[in-house]
Amino acid sequence: MEDVDNRTKSDALGDSAEGWKFLTSMRGLYIMGQALQMAIKELESVPYPLKQSSNISDMKFIRDHCCGPLGQITHVDTGYVKGLAEKIETLNNEGGN
């Protein structure tokens, strides 16, 4: 395991050109939006007084203002998406028989 003290400050913070290039790509923005949405949903389920409301607000801000329209895609109800995926799989399986 690499010792953080032996890495450059840039590496320790994850400031690699390749990482930033991916993060700012269409795929990276989608993944970041999805990760934020999942984290928000989980944090919102925590009861008061343990709920971290300011963190939730900050995550929503990042999702809504930094991930562009791809961050908004993650707002789709996961139950709807799962149901749609199951219907597609059923149709694919029926077509293959």
Domain spans in the chain, listed from the N-terminal domain onward: 14-95
Q: Which of 12-26, 27-41, 53-67 has the lowest mean pLDDT?
A: 12-26
Q: Which two tokens stand for residue 47?
A: 């009861």
Please give the span between the terminal C-alpha atoms of the chain, in angstroms, as a whole number.
Answer: 50
Residue 52 to residue 47: CA distance in whole angstroms: 9
Q: Which of 3-7, 59-63, 65-69 has the lowest mean pLDDT?
A: 3-7
* Per-residue pLDDT, 92: 78
The verdict on pTM exceeding 0.85 is: no
